[in-house]
Structure 1
Amino acid sequence: MVRVSLVFGEVADVYDDVRPGYRTGIARAIAEHHGGVPAGVLEIGAGTGKGTEVLLRLGAPVTCLEPDARMAARLTAKFPQVTIRIETFEQWQPPAGGVPVIAAALAWHWLDPATRNQRAYAALAPGGTLAAFGHAYGYADPGQARAIDAALRAVDPTVRSRPAAWLHDDISGSGLFADVRAEVTSRHLPMSTERYLRLIGTFGPFRTRTAEQQTRGLDAVGALVDGFGGTVVLDVRTTLVLARRRVVDSHTSAA
């Protein structure tokens, strides 16, 4: 996980307050894909535990990797029953035989794209499950979407969004995993101007901008949402990608 992920610790409490959680059905989908309750779960980049809360519903021991001690402290306070390791996925050493389930909640994009699929595949036990999921934030009103996008691009024209199916395409395109499938759900989430600006303040691209850009962006978006009546309705699109390590690795067996 690249070190820019450490910027979230600066706003750990705000992050935990304003970031929306995940539907409980994700745990059921993971268990069904895995074929039952796993013996254990490794979560990459657990943050303050938005994904951890769902993974605990599997009824299996959960080990969380979180490189930022400030985020890890918030996670520990919420879920003292989990094992927390303050390290990146790249620093972590898997046990002999691998782990049954590896999960990443809005963390896959922080991993090195050149190695993340290979690392996850190698760390899974034969037949093990990879579960990567996360939110993408849009807007229920297309007019509001265009206005906010234009305001943010005026502050920083380099802003780019990942394609909607990037998570599935990345994992499937690696050619490593079997039984790759994606589930996509969406829900509308109203937010006041104040709460939406706090949410923006937790986004990675925002936190890596200069202080001047951050101020200009918040001022511009705040004025827009106030003009919308003080509320913006987000379209929160949640993608869950499930994949499996083959029980018999064809690459290994061919060698």
Structure 2
Amino acid sequence: MTTVFGEVAALYDDIRPGYPGALLDTIVACHGGVPASVVDLGAGTGKATELLLRLGAPITCVEPDPRMATVLAARFPQVRVETTAFECWTPPPGGVDLLACATAWHWMDPQTRARSARDALAPGGTVAIFHNRFEYADPAARQAIDDVYRAVEGRSAPGRPVRFAHDDLVSSGLFDDVRAAEWHRYPEFTTAQYLQLTQTFAPFRQHPEPRREAILSGLSVALDGLGGRITMDIRTALAIGRRPR
């Protein structure tokens, strides 16, 4: 499943929102300054890379899907791209100052990811795990979309706890000063844009084609019934911690 997004790499790059600039300010503050080296795990097409480049530090991107990595390398020729899974990646000697992982931590092996992250960091280095959760500003929109998924799948659209990465770092006992932060943004999507966004979600991509078509058809009718536009509540959650010195 770590390569499921490569099927829609260009669409993913075009329609998926990035991350708020305030997140970078929080990372720098928690780290105690600008990190000297950065690794972007599960970098995809570079949605977080674009933000991390503002640090001015050298960046290595680790991305397992060659189709996503191709888009990433074309967008950001100044970064180093390693096309491999986190579990197969070899950190540089001495570790890195900042290990960032954007909307990819849940794809890593839950039995080893925290330990591997700790081992990849230099002493005192920072791990920053963040993701966008796609919610809705209007409860009526949330209900309409839930109704579509229940009609097709017999259940609401799946999700995971917002603070799952924070809880993962805390429970590992491997990091100091673990903190959580959140930001909300409220962009508006047309029906067509929301249908494109839906096609980049992993649960959607796991369905066979007839069920995908049923979901998209149901969502199109639901959103047109809401006026052809929907205001999202994009909730960005950050979990951050330090490797002990």
Q: TM-score, normalised by structure 2?
A: 0.96
Q: Which residue of 1 aligns with 2:193?
A: 195
Distance 1:74 1:63 in 2: 15
Q: How does 1:80-229 map to 2 (within 5 A)?
A: 80-157=77-154, 159-229=157-227
Indicate the SS of the match to 1:147: helix
Indicate the SS of the match to 1:179: strand
Distance 2:159 2:13 in 1: 23
Structure 2 spans left out of the alignment, 5+ residues: none
Distance 1:57 1:153 in 2: 42
Shift of 1:39: 1.5
Indicate the SS of the match to 1:242: strand
Shift of 1:164: 2.3
Deviation digits for residues 77-97 of structure 1, max 9, x if unmatched? 111000000001001011222
Checking the alignment, whether the CA contact within 8 Å between 2:15 and 2:196 is kept in structure 1 is yes
Shift of 1:129: 0.2
Q: Residue type matched to 1:182 in 2? A: A
Indicate the SS of the match to 2:179: strand
More displaced 10-residue stretch of structure 1: 190-199 or 145-154 = 145-154
Distance 2:140 2:212 in 1: 23
Q: Is 1:54 the counterpart of 2:51 in the alignment? A: yes
Checking the alignment, whether the CA contact within 8 Å between 2:42 and 2:102 is kept in structure 1 is yes
Indicate the SS of the match to 1:246: coil
Checking the alignment, whether the CA contact within 8 Å between 2:163 and 2:239 is kept in structure 1 is no
Q: Percent identity?
A: 50
Q: Which residue of 2 aligns with 1:250?
A: none
Structure 1 spans left out of the alignment, 5+ residues: 248-255
Q: Residue type matched to 2:167 in 1? A: D
Report the aligned-residue RMSD.
Answer: 1.1
Distance 1:228 1:29 in 2: 36
Indicate the SS of the match to 2:210: helix
Q: Residue type matched to 1:214 in 2? A: R
Checking the alignment, whether the CA contact within 8 Å between 1:26 and 1:54 is kept in structure 2 is no
Deviation digits for residues 193-241 of structure 1, max 9, x if unmatched? 0010000000011111111111111111110000001001111000111
Checking the alignment, whether the CA contact within 8 Å between 2:101 and 2:129 is kept in structure 1 is yes
Distance 2:106 2:208 in 1: 22
Q: TM-score, normalised by structure 1?
A: 0.93
Shift of 1:171: 1.6
